[in-house]
Structures are given as structure tokens and as C-alpha cells.
Structure 1
Amino acid sequence: MSQTFPTPGSHATEPAARATGLTKVYGRGETEVTALDSVSVEFARGRFTAVMGPSGSGKSTLMHCMAGLDKISTGSTRIGGTELGALSDKQLTALRRDKVGFVFQGFNLLPTLTARENILLPLLLAGRQPEDAWLEAVVNTVGLAGRLTHRPSELSGGQQQRVAVARALVSRPEIVFADEPTGNLDSRSGAEILGFLRDSVRELGQTVVMVTHDPVAAAHADRVVFLADGRLVDELLEPTADAVLDRMLRFEAQGRTR
């Protein structure tokens, strides 16, 4: 029998993450590049949002800034009710550990640890014990019940990414950021990972923000936001792959005519 879990952070009414007037500039003078130009966006709790845009549009920069992995130039970023710019480096590290889950294109697993140990690593680093019911729900959601004693070298790429997804979910973060999570996977394994992320939102109440260039991947989301030239230019609710592809082709055509 499936269990119903409250949305992580659901006691609060504010979005899981929010950027207001977010600007990120790299370099100075002639080498200055504006990667994000006054972007304001909210990511609602318990929803799956995809972030898309042409190459160089600022997709990954937006994720890194909103997750506290990169410092912003001007503006504001929040996780829940916490303003990231007001935190010390130590506080920011603690927030990323306790409130944010990450899934990257590279699996980033420790080769000497079993799947279970890799999943529990964030909790162990925080000195926290796993909630047995939640851990079981996460493991079942990503289909790893029979693989917990295996080390990464004994797992396929798709299975390793399942471990990475479970690791991101196990601490019940406010939000999970996934940067091209299917980029190193074949189409079948990629579809499985997208399904697991979708299920984590639907069944576990998680909030997921995924950067992707793939319209099929984006179609798993509840909402797609589009970036171009570092600016938020459009969004699409209840997306289909065809609708996402049409928007992307339109933005790329506009870019060629400028």
C-alpha cells in the first residue's frame, strides 16, 4: 500500500525557490558577459518545472545561482523563506546540504560505497538518521530495492543515476535541481529517470527544477520556462514535446535574425 507524504516544506506558503531581478555578470570590461539579465521567476512547491533555452541562454547559470552554487551579481534569490545573499559561506553550505537536492549529468557517486551508503551520504554528513518510511518510499520510487548492496561499478549508468536521484530525495529537501540528468544515458534509461523524477513529485510531494535541452524530457514537467540571451522570455503549462519543440525552434529562428 502506498503512503502519502506531505510536500517537503509544505508548512510554508512561499514558493520553494524564487529569483527577483537576478543578474549574473562574468568578467569585466571588454571580457564582460551578462549570463542572466534581471530574471524574476518562482518555482512552486510540489511541481516539476523544466528550464529550456538555446545554448548559452543561461539555463545552467540560473540553476547554479538559485541553488546557491554560484554567487549572483545583483538581485535576490531565495530557497523557501531564506535569502541566500544574507548567508555566510558556512550557512550557505548547510542550506545546500539540508534544503537542496542535486542531480547532475555526471552521477557523482563514491565508488567505494554501496548504493545504500551513497544514498544516505547527505544525511550522514549532516549527522542525521534516515526516516525509515521515507527511505523505503524513495528507494521504491526509483526502483532500487534489489540493488542497495551493489557498488557503482556493479551498476549500469541508468542504475547509477537512480542512486543519484534517491540521494537527492532522501534528505527531503525543499527543492531538487537536476542539470541535464539524462545527458549521459540511453533513451530507455533516460525515460526511466524522468519517470522517477515525475513520480517523486506526484507521489512524494517533491519540488523538481530540471535544466534540459530535450523537448521530450521537458514534456514530463508540469511547466516549462524558456530563457534566451539571459532573459526569461516565455513559459508553457502542461507541455507536450511538440509544443516545446515549436517554441524552441521559434526562439532559435529569432536569434538568427537578430
Structure 2
Amino acid sequence: MTVDPLALSHTPGIAAATTDLTKVYGAADTRVTALDGVSIGFQEAEFTAIMGPSGCGKSTLLHCAAGLDTPTSGSVRIGTTELGTLDDRQLTRVRRDRLGFVFQAFNLLPTLTALENITLPLALAGRAPDRRWLDRVVAMVGLADRLGHRPAQLSGGQQQRVAVARALAGRPAVVFADEPTGNLDTRTGTEVLGFLRDSVRELGQTVVMVTHDPVAASFADRAVFLSDGRLVDEMVRPTPDRVLAVMQRSDARAAAR
């Protein structure tokens, strides 16, 4: 009997995980090890911030964990679905049906309304939105009076709210966010971070966010720190000052090498 790997039940408590994850770019003189044996689990209904200096591997970790990039070795799981066992079609289904994405660029289609952009992934999957869930998401991000507007009629912050709502609309197992406030001013960025945090507290969502900003990390339940492609520290209930202290120590160690 053939078992559909997408039908496997997930391990309670773990939304996504990597084991001995390695990612190498190039070869010989141009060889760069972006990730060096990273093992980490992301708990359900938890907001995790991935921190570290530029070039430390944090975006590579997120992209591999989300199935957007292929690791050189090691394993990546969403629940108990091992992404390395999936063909391209199955991997596309996982990304479409079980994951949500928020990027620094809003990636909205300019000809669609806010509501159409929010529900686009569901439409492409041939799924009708859960109306009650969609209404909760829209209310949480404060878009109820903007659903008929196109992106050009929205501010940058409103466009990123649309992107957050789009990521949440399909009730994904995990939302992966890569520098989601990078193109926003401080006030608007704080609002978007609040929406991501509220999605965890109010909707039970799992969020994994890459950021270099200690203030952004303070919205998370947990912060993990990378340096030279390795996990070097972890913090529960991060605050801006504690995060900054860890990053300064990491910078000092790097400068001493």
C-alpha cells in the first residue's frame, strides 16, 4: 500500500523542525557554508524570532524550513511530513495548503482588491474560504473597511496587513515571515508585529520570523540566535535590551576571531 506523505498526522506540539540541517553554496574556492548542522523545533502556537548578523544564515534557515530552498543535507519536517521525501508536486501542495508566507516586499497583485489578494492562495487551491475564520483574520488586522481597495490605494502598512491576512487565511500550520517590517516605518512596523503576535495568542497560529531588529524580536515568545550558520543562543520572552546584549556579544566574538 502506498502512503501519501501529505496525509500523515503531525507530532503534537511541533509544527516544524530541522535536524542536522546543512546548506552549502558553491564549491572549492567559492564554497560557502550558510548552515552548519542546525537542529531546531518550532512549537505550535508559538512565535519564534530568528536573529543574527547579516550573512549568518537566518534567511537560509527560514527558506529551507519552509521548503523554498533545498538543504545540502539534513532533514526538514512540517509536522511529521519529511519534505525531502516529496516530489515537486507534493512539495508545492505543502507550501500552498499548510504554510503561509510574509516577506519584506508585500507581493500583492496590483489588479486585485485586498480581499481578492487575501483569498488568492485559496482560490488557486480550489478551496472556499472558511468565512468565520476569514472574518476573524480581517478584523484582527483591521482591514474590514479596505477590502475593496487595490494595493495602489493602500498605504505600505495596509498592504503588509493584507499580506499578513493572506498568510493566515488558509489556517496554515506555520507562517514564515522574512523581515516583514523591513519596508515599514517604526509605527507601522509595530502594528504589523502586533498582528503577528495576536495571531499566535488569539488564533493559535505558529509564526517563525527572521529579523535583525531587537525590538521586533521582543514581540516573539522565543528568540534563537545564529552565527556563522550555527545556533549559538536561545532566549525565552526576549526583551530589546537582552536581545541587543546577546547580539553585541556575538559581534565581539566575531571581531576577536
How do 1:46-195 and structure 2 match up within 5 A?
46-195=45-194
Question: Which residue identity does 1:177 align to in structure 2?
Answer: F
User: Separation in 2 of the partners of 1:127 and 1:10?
Assistant: 22
Coordinate RMSD, CA, aligned: 1.2
Per the alignment, do residues 214 and 28 of structure 1 end up closer, same or farther by CA in structure 2, a change over 3 Å counting?
Answer: same
Conserved? CA contact 1:101–1:168, under 8 Å? yes
Question: Which residue identity does 2:146 align to in structure 1?
Answer: R
User: Separation in 2 of the partners of 1:112 and 1:183?
Assistant: 24
Given the two structures, how large is their TM-score scaled by the length of structure 2? 0.96
Conserved? CA contact 2:51–2:223, under 8 Å? yes
Match of 1:217 in 2: 216
User: What displacement does 1:86 show?
Assistant: 0.2
Structure 1 residues 85-106: Cα deviation after superposition (integer angstroms, max 9, x where no partner) = 0000111011100011000000
Match of 2:44 in 1: 45
User: Separation in 2 of the partners of 1:179 and 1:122?
Assistant: 19
Conserved? CA contact 1:10–1:45, under 8 Å? no
Conserved? CA contact 2:37–2:74, under 8 Å? yes
User: Separation in 1 of the partners of 2:156 and 2:80?
Assistant: 36
Question: Which residue identity does 1:172 align to in structure 2?
Answer: R
Match of 2:12 in 1: 13
Q: For this pair of structures, how many residues does the alignment match?
A: 250
Match of 1:5 in 2: none
User: Separation in 1 of the partners of 2:43 and 2:227?
Assistant: 22
User: Separation in 2 of the partners of 1:10 and 1:73?
Assistant: 26
Match of 1:235 in 2: 234
Conserved? CA contact 1:38–1:75, under 8 Å? yes
Match of 2:3 in 1: none
Conserved? CA contact 1:18–1:78, under 8 Å? yes
Structure 1 residues 53-74: Cα deviation after superposition (integer angstroms, max 9, x where no partner) = 0111000000000000000000
User: What displacement does 1:11 show?
Assistant: 7.3
Helix, strand or coil: the match of 2:14? coil
Question: Which residue identity does 1:227 align to in structure 2?
Answer: L
Question: Which residue identity does 2:188 align to in structure 1?
Answer: S
User: Separation in 2 of the partners of 1:76 and 1:185?
Assistant: 34
Conserved? CA contact 1:14–1:81, under 8 Å? no
Given the two structures, how large is their TM-score scaled by the length of structure 1? 0.95
Conserved? CA contact 1:223–1:237, under 8 Å? yes
Question: Which residue identity does 1:240 align to in structure 2?
Answer: T
Conserved? CA contact 1:104–1:178, under 8 Å? yes
User: Separation in 2 of the partners of 1:130 and 1:204?
Assistant: 16
Structure 1 residues 175-221: Cα deviation after superposition (integer angstroms, max 9, x where no partner) = 00000000000001000000000000000000000000000000000
